[in-house]
Each structure stands twice: as C-alpha cells, then as structure tokens.
Amino acid sequence: MSTPASSPLRLFLSYARADDEPFVKRLYEDLKRLGFEIWWDREAMESRGDTFLNEIKIGIMGADRFVLIVGPAVQKSPYVRAEWEYAQQFCKPVVPILRLGEYSDVPAAFGKLHAPDFREARDYGVALTELARLLGAPAARMGDQFGVPPLPTWYIRREDELNGLIESIRADATGVITSKKQTVALQGVGGIGKTTLASALAHDCDVRRSFPDGVFWVRLGQSATDSDVPLRQAEIGVALGDARDEYPDEKRGKVRLGQLLGDKRALIVLDDLWVRTHADCFRVAAPGCRIVITTRKADIVNRLGAVPLALSALSEEQGAALIAERIGLTAGAANPDEAIHRRIVRALDGHTQAISIAAARLTGPGALTAADLLRRLEKRLGGDTPFRDLHLDDDEDHQFDLEASLSVSYDDLSEDLKRRFRLLGVFAAAGSFDRRAAGAVWGDEDEDDTTDALGTLAGANLLIEAAPTGTQERRYRQHGLLRAYALALLKRNGEEAAARVRHFDHYEREHGDQGVNNNEDRHPLLTLDFEDVRQALDWGFSAPDDDVARLARAVDFTMGISYYMQQQVSSTIRGEILRGARTVAQKADYPRGLANVLKALGDLSVRQSELSEARAFYEQARPLYETIGARLGLANVLKALGDLSVRQSELSEARAFYEQARPLYE
C-alpha cells in the first residue's frame, strides 16, 4: 500500500455527522497508521476560546490536502459547506470520497474530480489503497495571477453561475479547439456582477491548476481605444518574459502573443469589453488557452461567435445572503429580518451593485433598520430620484434600480462627503488612485481627513478599496457605473474645471520630473498611475488657449515621462501623446517644448524604422534649438542626425553632423 513521503502530509477530514461518523473514525485511524497527520474535529479541536468556524479555518489553513467524505447530509450541512469553501479560498487540493449515497451527492464544485468509492459494496482495503495513492501524488502546479483584482470584501459565491463558467472554460482545455470555442462571453447589464464572477473564476484554485502558465486580467472599459490594445497585449507578454518593444501595435502584438501562447495553457480575462475587434487582438492559435470576456453588449457576443453565458440578477436567496454577509451574520445564523431583506432584493430587481449599496446602509453609524431602508427604497422607486435628469456618457448607464439605492446612500452623506463623492468622477475610469491623489483632488490639508473620507465612502460601497501588495500603498477605484454618476454630478454642479486643475497639478508634481523618472525603479509606481497621468495630460492639452502657462506645463509634463514611455508604453500610445504635445506646443508658441517633442517624435520614428520621417522631425527641431540657444538640445539632435546617416550608409554626412555636435558637447 502506498504511504506518504518522509515529510508527513497533513490532512483535514470534512464530513457531516449525520452521515457515518463511525466510518470517519475508522478512516482517521487507518490514515494515521499510514503516516499521515490528520485534523479531525473529534481529536484536534483545542480549547483556545475560538469559535468553531475559526478553529476549522485554522485547521484547513495548516492542511496539505482536504478530504471531503461525501454522504447525503453533506450538501445540507452549513458547516461542511463552510469547510469546503475555506479549502477553496486557501487553494487546498480537495479529494472527495463517496461513502454513502450516489455520485450525484458530490458537490458540483468537485463533480469533475476523481472520488474513490468507499461504499459498502466495495472492498474497504482496495479503496483505502486508492485514496492513499491519490493523497501521495504531487499537487498540480497553479498558474500565477497577473493583474487579477481581489474579490469584494462581502463576496457571495454564486455557486451555479460560477460552476457553469468553470465548466465552459475547462472543457477540453488541452485539446484542439477553434478560436470561437476558445472564447466564453459573460454578458449582462451594468452592475449585475460580471466582473466579480470573472474575478471569482480567476481566483478559483482548480481553475488556476487547469491553467498553470498563468491567469491574466486585462481591463479594457468603455474608454479603451485601439491604441490601448498593444499596451494590454504587452502586459501579458512582459509577464511571460517578453520585451515590451515587441508590441508596437495591435497587429504585431497579436502575432507575438500567438508565438508566446501557442504551446501554453493560460487563461485571459478581458473585462468590460465594448469593442469587438479588441477581443480579436487576443484570440490567437493557442489550443490550451481560454479567453473569458465580460460585456454588456449582446451583439458583441453574437459577432464573436463566443460561448454565451448570460448573467442574470441575483435570486432572492443570493441577494438576502449578500445582505446578511454585509451586516455580519455568520453562515447558518438566524436572520430575523430575512423576509424584509428578500423584499429589498425584489424591490431592486436583484441588481447586485444596488443591493450592495443598500446593504451598507444597514450597518455602521446612523444605520437604518431593514424596514426603514425598504420604505425609503420603495419611495424612490415609485417617484423620481435626484439622478434621473443627469446627462451620462452612455444612456445605458442609467440604471434605475441602482439610482434608487444610490440616492438613499448619497442623500444620507454629509455635504462634504457628497462633494467628495462627486469629485471622484475626475479620476480615470480604467485606473486606480492612492490616498495622496484623493487628498489633492479633494483639496485636503490634513491627510487624516482624506483617510477618514476614503474609509467612509468605501464602507458605504461607493468606493472599492484594493488591498496593498508588499510595500505598495493602498489604492482605490470606483465601479464604472458609480463613476459615471459621480462625473455627471460633478459637471452638473459646475465643479469639473477646478477638479481637473487639482488632478493635473497632482500628477504633474508626482511624475513631471524627467530626471526623477529616468530612474527605472520608479516605473512600477508610474505604471500604477499611468491611466490618470494620461487623463491629466488630456486635460492639459485641452486647456483654454489663453492659459499658455498650463499648455506649456502639459508639454513639459509629456517630456517628463518620455523615458518611461520609451521603456514601458506602446509606440502607438506614445505617438498619440507626443503628437498631442506637439499641437499644444505650437498653440502656446513654446519653441523649447516644441523642439523637445519633435526630437522625441524623431526618436520614435527611428524605433519604428520610419527613417525619412525621423529625419524630417530632427530637421524641424534643429533650428528651434539654434534660435533659443539650447546647446545640449542642439548637440543631441545633431548626434541623432549623425546616427541616422550611419544607418542609411551616408558616412560622410554622418561625420559632418558629429563634428558639429562635438564642440557643443565640450
């Protein structure tokens, strides 16, 4: 009979006491005799003052394998469910065994796993040998996660929906498959929970074992343009050890991804897709890879020919469970307000985001009773909300269930917190921001004011708080729908222009110094802020014509991040930003800035092997440097012209340029 390795494996035995507890005792003794270390509640529970659920959580965290002993009572036991959900949360390999009943009694989450048959009709010794062999086999390698967002604090597992999604992507994961069948599309209205479900998929331990070469999260969003695509392709490539230069545009990026992923097993999530062709840029000939998209657009799903999975609203049971989780009720605990909670879910049509915001009003300072919350929601749903007259960027962003829930929470905020919520609309839709950025936009002088406000808004589910990684400072973002309302409110109140100034000023202070940004150790921080840096530059480029100083600052800001963009940003985006800066420098009559931008455009053209265009840019920059007496700038452009001449085998001309540059450098 197989025995475990010299370092004993630690097992956690999970079972329902209503099934066959004497069998569990026998199994415990036999596995212990074989050299396994066992956590069994009858033997391992210690009197440390912890609750039962805390004890089992500690036991599961310390285990190497989770053995689920299946009988008819397993699916009915809230404690067993809590145990296997902890095992999933901590990525513990699960080995189900069937003791009583039928294989249909194995929970759906583990239905595809091999489950040894320990029923009376089979020889116990043979079954035990099989189990010992399975337990002794090495666990499959889990794919690393890249960019996957954390699950919400009050996450409710949507068992059927998640299992259906897992089934769709794991089928034939190692066989030949067409690009259409390679793609699964999760479609539904805004705020229904698509991103959360996709995130749950990306965190699922068995899914990560099915895709050992990585799980990649690509955030697109409504504001994504064609030029954003190579930047996202490069994020995958760089994670796989490729050079960012290999992704200058979406076509060459797709070819490169195909070369990298062809023999790999990886999962790519394209979150919040609005343009069909953006998905095509990631669909490559890679039989072992899968793509999951989340989108509001049913026509995108049809045109992609993807496997469709429509995500519907929360059921009453799911919505009530979400509220119970939000107010701190433990699994299986009695809920005296469950009937009212279910009415709240019905009133909000099971809209996930709306229920989350409503549930936040049932806890904390000034909490409403469930009955008061229901009354106020029904009042709003029966009349007008303060948001129905808002002009949103997309008419589909009007979600009336969400508006009713949001209006209750928004109205209960202080005037200062209302202002702060509105000002969040100035941040980039696809980005995240830190405390300093929030404080700058809010105009805070005391960082404690910023911290308190961020905590209050996050506690009200009006802001998403991302956990810090390593030494990284905590960051924040808003759900796309909430940002749409915040921005519309900001515009309606006439506060947008002043907010844009503070937003620009902050990111210019943080990232406008070229000398500082030439230190590549700073690039990860700039990457985190890059979406908002682009947003700040867009506003700087569109400043009024008479604001010459700000236009010039936007040009200098562009040059401040030029080396970073050269190293970390696709040629397409870099070109767009530089061309925008050139137009602004001309508008502001800013020769030094224009010369610097033209030099940078020339360098970019060289990188793209567009040598004639590069020469034209350098020749335009040259007289500008001469006019303003910028010796170093002139020397650099002359050297660039010399290097260009060498590439074109015009060596005499190259020598002449170098001879002109030499005394300037001296």
Per-residue pLDDT tens digits for 438-477: 999 999 999 999 999 999 999 999 998 875 554 468 899 9
Q: Are 24 and 15 in contact (CB under 8 A)?
A: yes
Plot region of 473 (φ>0 → left; ψ -120 to 50 → alpha; else → beta) = beta
Nearest of 267, 211, 209 to residue 93 by alpha carbon: 209
pLDDT value at position 177?
47
Q: Are 220 and 292 in contact (CB under 8 A)?
A: no
DSSP string, 301-321: HHHHT-EEEE--PPPHHHHHH
What is the token pair recorded at 624?
């500008």
| Length of the chain (residues) | 666
**Distance between CA atoms of 364 and 127, rounded to whole angstroms?**
52
pLDDT value at position 395?
54
Report the amino acid identity of residue 663.
Answer: P
Q: Which residues of the chain have pLDDT under 70?
A: 1-6, 43-53, 171-181, 331-332, 384-386, 388, 393-398, 467-472
pLDDT value at position 156?
85
What is the token pair recorded at 125?
């010794």
pLDDT value at position 171?
56
- pTM for this prediction: 0.81
How high does pLDDT run on average in the chain?
89
pLDDT tens digits for 515-531? 999 899 899 899 999 99
**Distance between CA atoms of 63 and 517, rounded to whole angstroms?**
46
DSSP string, 591-634: HHHHHHHHHHHHHHHHHTT-HHHHHHHHHHHHHHHHHHT-HHHH
pLDDT value at position 113?
85
pLDDT value at position 45?
55
What is the token pair recorded at 236?
């995958």
Task: Please give the span between the terminal C-alpha atoms of the chain, in angstroms, as a whole number.
Answer: 81
**Distance between CA atoms of 432 and 473, rounded to whole angstroms?**
11
Q: Are 148 and 203 in contact (CB under 8 A)?
A: yes
**How many C-beta neighbours within 10 Å does residue 558 have?**
28
**How many C-beta neighbours within 10 Å does residue 263 have?**
11
**Contacts (Cβ under 8 Å, ≥6 apart) of 209:** 139, 140, 141, 142, 143
What are the start-end ranges of the H helices in 349-443?
352-360, 370-381, 400-411, 415-423, 435-442
Report the amino acid identity of residue 119.
Answer: R
Q: Are 35 and 64 in contact (CB under 8 A)?
A: no
**Distance between CA atoms of 168 and 634, rounded to whole angstroms?**
60
Nearest of 465, 469, 431, 430 to residue 451 by alpha carbon: 465
Characterize the bridge pairing of strands 475-477 and 464-466: antiparallel
DSSP string, 160-225: HHHHHHHHHHHTTTTS---TTTTEEEEE--TTSSHHHHHHHHHH-HHHHHH-TT-EEEEE--TT--
**Distance between CA atoms of 439 and 428, rounded to whole angstroms?**
16
**Strand ranges inside 488-537, DSSP E:** none
Which CB contacts under 8 angstroms, 24+ apart, belong to 649-658?
none
What is the token pair recorded at 173?
């994961």
Question: Three-state DSSP class for 12?
Answer: strand
Give residue for tokens 């085998």. 649
Characterize the bridge pairing of strands 307-310 and 183-187: parallel
Nearest of 564, 569, 601, 605 to residue 582 by alpha carbon: 601
Give residue for tokens 């490729």. 242
**Distance between CA atoms of 237 and 232, rounded to whole angstroms?**
9
pLDDT value at position 497?
94
Sheet holding 10-14, edge to edge: 37-39, 10-14, 65-70, 94-98
Sheet holding 433-434, edge to edge: 433-434, 475-477, 464-466
